[in-house]
């Protein structure tokens, strides 16, 4: 396997299996902290991380975790899309928190992800606009 090749499918498969277990089965050991729901949350975070790594390796066809702007095809359009997705995610988390029974930590994690999307999108927009070097 060369350095440029990346294997994405094991991460995607593991992430899907873990998230199915967390969302539908709901089994978790009590762990050293004697709390099954905390262990279930840790499993959920591991599943989301595995899905992200699988998506990153599939999308950019390289190993890594950080989506550098040089990997993007259309930086300005992608930046606007990220900001829009982040804002929609914040509002949907806010509305879902009042209607659905999601744990408070789940809303915080979703808002953290949305804030990171907005930050990355704003950086992409600024580098193609105001901060663009001639």
- Least confident span in 3-7, 65-69, 105-109: 3-7
As a whole number of angstroms, the distance between CA 102 and CA 98 comes to 9
Task: Measure CA 120 to chain center.
Answer: 12
pTM beyond cutoff 0.85: no
- H helices within 21-74, ranges in order? 36-60
Above 70 in pLDDT, residue 3? no
């Amino acid at each position: 396997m060369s350095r440029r090749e990346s294997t994405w499918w094991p991460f995607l498969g593991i992430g899907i299996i873990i998230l199915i277990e967390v969302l539908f089965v709901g089994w978790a050991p009590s762990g050293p902290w004697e709390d099954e729901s905390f262990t279930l949350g840790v499993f959920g975070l591991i599943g989301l991380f595995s899905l992200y790594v699988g998506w990153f390796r599939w999308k950019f066809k390289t190993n890594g975790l950080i989506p550098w702007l040089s990997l993007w095809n259309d930086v300005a359009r992608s930046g606007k899309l990220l900001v829009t997705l982040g804002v929609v995610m914040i509002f949907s988390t806010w509305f879902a928190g009042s209607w659905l029974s999601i744990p408070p930590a789940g809303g915080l994690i979703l808002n953290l992800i949305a804030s990171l999307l907005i930050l990355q999108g704003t950086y992409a927009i600024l580098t193609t606009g105001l901060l663009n070097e001639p």
